[in-house]
Structure 1
Amino acid sequence: MIDAWGAHRIFVSPVWMLVPLLFMLVGMPGSRSDAAEVPVSAPVVEAVRISGTINPAVAAFVTEQLDRVNREKPAAFLLELDTPGGLDLAMRQIVKAVLGSQVPVVVFVGPAGARAASAGALITLAADFAGMAPGTNIGAAHPVSIGGGRDNGDDVLMGKVVEDAAAYARSLAMRRGRNPVWAEKMVRDSVSIAAHEALQRQVVDLVAENRTELLRMLHGRTYRRGDEIRQLVCQDATVKFSGMDWRQKILNTISDPNVAYMLLLLGLLGIFFEISQPGVVLPGAVGAMALLLALFAFQTLPVNYVGMLLIVLALVLFVLEVKVTSFGMLTVGGLISMTFGSLMLFEHTEPFMRLSRAVIAGTAVVTAGFCLLVAWFVVRAQRRRVVSGQEGMAGLRGETLTEVYRDGQIFVRGEYWSAYADEPIPAGETVEVVRMAQGLRLEVRRPKPVHTVVNTHPMSGSDKENIP
C-alpha cells in the first residue's frame, strides 16, 4: 500500500525531470522563434563619382570598378555624373563596360546644378536606369573635331562623324527603351533639356532629389539580362563609394590643359638647362619626365602644333638673349612668341579644353621676370673686376725685390714673380702690375700718383693774418 507522501513523490519527480528538457528545447538554435529574429542583411550598392571631363584615366577607373563589381555581385552599380563631356574614345570605353555588365548600372546626374553634356549624355543613355536631380540638364552631344572648334574644314569627314554619333545615340536609347528621337536630336542639333523635360520625353527614367530617394524609387523595378527578367532590390541599401588610386589621380590631373601646359614648359626648361650645363643631371631628369607626362596628356587634348613650335621658338630666343647683345629685343620677341603660342596651343569650342587666360598671363609675367633677372646677373658679372687668371693680375700692387728693368723679381699677392719695366726701378719700391706677358712675366710700372684736391679759392683777410 502506498502512502500519501509516496504517491506525491512518484507524481512530482517526473515533472521536475521534464523542466530541464523544456529549457533545452527552448534554447535550441533551430527553434522557430529564434529564426524569425535573425536580421536579413541590407543590400549593397557600389558607387563611383565622376566630376570633370571624360578622359582615358576616368575611363580606365570606371571600367576597372565595373570589372570588380561583376566579380563581387552587389545589388547595383551607381555612377554619379557631373561632366561637361570629354573624349569620344574614353566615352565609348565606358559605354562598352556598362553594356557588358551583369550587375545593373544606375546613372544619376546629380546633385542639383550638375550636367551630363556631350559624352556624359551618351553614358546616361547606356545605363540600365537613368535618373536626374532637379536643376540638372542633359544633352549637347554634338561631336567636335579634336583639332579645334571649327568643324567646317572638312564637311564630308565631319558629316560622317555626326552620322556615326547619331546612330550610336539612337541605338543606345532603343536598347534601353528610351526616346531615340530625342537621343538623336541631342547629337545632331546639340539639344540640351532639363531634368523634368527629360523625364517627360522619356530620355531618363526618373527624377529624384538625392541618392536615397533615387534608390527608394528604383526598388522593385525590373531589368533584362538576355532572355531573363530580373528585379532590382535596393531598398535601404548601403552605398559604398570607391575612389581613384594615386596613379589614376595623377593621370586624371595631368589631363587638364593648364597642367599639361605647365608640364610642357617645365620639360623644355629642364632639358635646356641640362644641355647648357652638362652633368647636373637633375634638371634633365625632371625635364624628361615632365615632357613625357605632357605628351601623354596631349593625346587627350586638341593640340595645335604651330602653337607648340611658337613656345619652343620663345625658349630659343630667351637663350639667345643671354648669348647675344640685343638690348632686350630677343626677350621681347620671345615673350610675344610664347603668348601667341600659348593662345594657339589648345583650340576647342568648350572652355574646359582651352588654356586659362590667367595661366597664360601669369606664365608670361614670370618668364619675363626670370629673363630680366638673368640679364641683370650677366651685366653685373661683366662689369665686375676680374679677380683671377691673367686678367686678374692687372692693377695689383707689389714690391720689387731686385732692380727691375729688363729683368728682375717682385713680390705680389704672396708670390714671387719675374718682372720687367720700361724704366729702371730700384729694389724696395712699390710697383703696379700692367699685364702678364708671355712666359708668365709681369710688366710693371711705378704707381700713378694720387691727385690731391687743392683749394683754389682766394683767402680772406682773417685767413691771411693766421699764416705765421
Structure 2
Amino acid sequence: MAGLTLFGPSVQAQSDDTVAPEVVSDTPSDTPSDTPSDAVARVDVLQVSGFVDPILVEAIGEAIDRAEADSSQALILQVNSDATVVDDDVVEDLLVRVANAPIPIGIWVGPSGARFYGTAAQLLAVADVTGMAPGSRVGYIGVPLDPPGLPEGTSVDFGIAEERLRNGSVGLSDARSLNVFKQRVDDEGVPTISNMLQAMNGYEENGVEVVTTKLVVLDDGSTRFDTVSVVRFSKLTLLDQLFHTVASPPVAYLLLLTGLALLVFEFFTAGVGLAGGIGAISTVLAFTGLAVLPTQPWAVVLIGLAMLAFAIDVQVGIPRFWTGVGIVLTIIGSWFLFEPVPGSSMRPSWLALIAGVGGIILTFIV
C-alpha cells in the first residue's frame, strides 16, 4: 500500500474501510525508494476552507502549478466554504484556470457538514471529478458565468439543477437526483477523502489514466480498494493563513473595535506605549480584512464616530452623555457592518457581537 505524504502544515488524514491509506512521511521530500508505489504518481490535495477570497484563489492557482511541476497525476480541492467574496471576473479567471488545467482536477465538498456556497461553487461544473460528503450542502451559485477561454464543449451548465442552485442549496440526496456531481462511484456520497481518491481512479485525460486505488481480494473472498498513490496534503502558508483569517467577519470586527479603543486610550496618555502599538496593528489588520469583505462604509464611519464620542468623555474621566452616544453608535455599526451575500448573512456571531459591544461598554464605563 502507498500512503499519505503531508505537504506544508501537518493535517489529519482520513480513512475508511474501503480505501485505507498509510502515513508514509510528514515531509514533501520523499524519494522513490521511500514510497512503496514507485510507478504511481502522487495526488495533491489542497484544503480550501473559509470564504473564497483573493488568497484562496491564488492558492488554487499555485496548487495547479505545483502539481504540474512535480508531475502529480491529479489535484483534489477539499472545499468547505460558506461564501465567495471576490468579484465575478476573478471567479471567471478561476473557472478558466481549472477548466484548462494540465492535470485532472477533482473537487470534494467535505467532510460531513461542509458547505460550498457562492459564485465559486460554479467550479463544480468545470472540474473533472466532483463529489460531496453526506451532510454537506452546495448552492447559491448565482447566475452562471460564461467566461471566454473555456475549452470547447465546456460550460457552466448545471442542467435541471440550475434553478435550485441559483438562489438556494441542496443536500446530497437532491444533488444526486439532479446530477449536480460527477462522482464516478455508486456510493451514497463520498464520505472521506479516501473515497474521493477512489472516485478519481480510472479517470482519463489526454490519454493518461489516473491510478489511485486497486482492488484487493482478501483471504475470505471479500474485496476492498487499497490506495496505491501517495497523497500530498497542502494548506495556506502561515502568512497567508493570517490574512485569510482576518478576512472573516468576526475577526475583522473584533480587531476593529479593539484597535480603535486602544488608540483612543493611547491618545490621551503620555507617549506611545504598548497599547498604542497593539491598537495600530489591530486596526491595520482589521481594515485589511474589511477591504476583502462586503463591508458597508457607513457602518464603519458610525463605529469611528462612536470612538470620537467615547474620546470626549475619556478626557474628563467620567462616562456621561457622549459615552451613551458612543454605545448606541457602536451597536448600530456592529449590526450593519457587513452586507449579506447569498447563503450567508455575513453578520458576526452573537458571541462575537456580545464580546465586541460588551467589551466596549466595560472599557469606557467601568
TM tier, smaller: 0.7 to 0.9
Contact 2:92 2:145 in 1 (8 A): no
Alignment partners' CA distance in 2, 1:116 and 1:173: 24
Residue 73 of structure 1 deviates from its aligned partner by 1.4
Matched residue, 2:105: 105
What are structure 1's unaligned runs of at least 5 residues? 1-37, 143-164, 374-468
Tell whether 2:231 aligns with 1:231.
no
Displacement of 1:251: 0.8
Instruction: Give the corresponding residue for 1:215.
Output: 197
Matched, 1:166 2:164: no
Residue by residue over 1:432-463, the C-alpha shift from the partner in whole angstroms, topping out at 9 and shown as x without a partner, is xxxxxxxxxxxxxxxxxxxxxxxxxxxxxxxx
CA 1:136/1:337 → structure 2, altered by over 3 Å: closer, same or farther?
A: closer
How far off is 1:313 after superposition? 1.8
Aligned counterpart, 1:245: 237
Counterpart secondary structure, 1:54: coil
How many angstroms does 1:74 deviate by? 0.7
Distance 1:199 1:358, change over 3 A: closer
Give the corresponding residue for 1:360.
Answer: 353
The residue number in structure 1 matching 2:312 is: 320
Report how far residue 80 of structure 1 moved: 1.2
Which residue pairs with 2:54 in the alignment?
A: 56
Query: Counterpart in 2 of 1:301?
Result: 293
Letter of the 1:168 partner, please give it.
Answer: D
Give the corresponding residue for 2:220.
Answer: none
Q: d(CA) in 2 for partners of 1:233 and 1:173?
A: 24
Shift of 1:46: 0.8
Q: How far apart in 1 are the matches of 2:317 and 2:209?
A: 79
Provide the C-alpha distance between the structure 2 equivalents of 1:177 and 1:96, rounded to a whole number of angstroms: 10
TM-fit CA distance, 1:221:
2.3
Q: Measure, in 2, the Cα distance between the counterparts of 1:177 and 1:256.
A: 31
Q: Residues 302-341 of structure 1, C-alpha deviation per residue, up to 9 Å, x if partnerless?
A: 2122211221222122221133598722222221111111
Q: Contact conserved, 1:318 with 1:334, CA < 8 A, in 2?
A: yes
Shift of 1:174: 8.3
Match of 2:353, as an amino acid? I
Q: Classify 1:364/1:85 alpha carbon distance in 2 versus 1 (closer, same or farther; 3 Å).
A: closer
Query: Per the alignment, do residues 209 and 314 of structure 1 end up closer, same or farther by CA in structure 2, a change over 3 Å counting?
Result: closer
Q: CA RMSD in A?
A: 3.0
| Cα pair distance change 1:322/1:275, threshold 3 Å | closer
- CA separation in 2, counterparts of 1:261 and 1:134? 33
- What SS does the corresponding residue of 1:78 show, helix, strand or coil? strand
**5+ unaligned residues in a row in structure 2: which ranges?**
1-35, 184-188, 214-227
Residues 208-242 of structure 1: CA deviation (Å, up to 9, x unaligned): 3433233234322223xxxx443222222221111
Give the structure 2 partner of residue 333 of structure 1.
325
Match of 1:276 among 260, 263, 268: 268
In structure 1, distance between residues paired with 2:202 and 2:92:
29
Counterpart of 1:168 in 2: which secondary structure?
coil
1:59-458 residue pairs with structure 2 within 5 A?
59-89=57-87, 91-142=91-142, 165-168=143-146, 175-176=153-154, 179-182=157-160, 184-186=162-164, 189-206=166-183, 207-223=189-205, 228-235=206-213, 236-277=228-269, 279-324=271-316, 328-349=320-341, 350-351=343-344, 353-373=346-366
CA contact (8 A) 1:170 1:184 kept: no
The CA distance in 2 between the partners of 1:196 and 1:231, in whole Å, is: 29
> CA contact under 8 A between 1:48 and 1:79: conserved in structure 2?
yes
* Shift in alpha-carbon separation, 1:251–1:316, aligned structure 2, 3 A: same
Read off the aligned partner of 1:344 and give its amino acid letter: F
* Structure 1 CA distance for aligned equivalents of residues 59 and 304 of structure 2: 34
Aligned residues: 309
CA offsets 1:250-289 (integer angstroms, 9 cap, x no match): 0111011111112212332343344323532544433332
Partner of 1:148: none
Question: % of aligned pairs identical?
Answer: 25
Larger radius of gyration: 1
**Which one scores higher on RCO, CA 8 angstroms, separation ≥ 6?**
2
- 1:348-373 CA distances to partner (integer Å, 9 max, x unpaired)? 15446112233222222222222233
- The answer on whether the counterparts of 1:311 and 1:338 sit within 8 Å (CA) in structure 2 is yes
Secondary structure of residue in 1 paired with 2:113:
coil
| TM-score, normalization by structure 2 | 0.74
Distance 2:91 2:260 in 1: 32
Aligned mates of 1:371, 1:106 — CA distance in 2: 52
Say if 1:343 and 1:135 are closer, same or farther in 2 by CA, change over 3 A.
closer
Q: Distance in 2 between matches of 1:326 and 1:134?
A: 57
Secondary structure of 2:292's counterpart equals: coil
Aligned residue in 2 for 1:3: none
Cα distance change on mapping 1:233 and 1:324 into 2, 3 Å: same
1:180/1:54 CA distance change after superposition, 3 Å: same
1:215 is paired with a residue whose SS is helix
Opposite residue 292 of structure 2, the aligned amino acid is T
* In 2: Cα distance, 1:346 partner to 1:141 partner: 20
Structure 1 pair 250/352, CA: closer, same or farther in 2 (3 Å)? farther
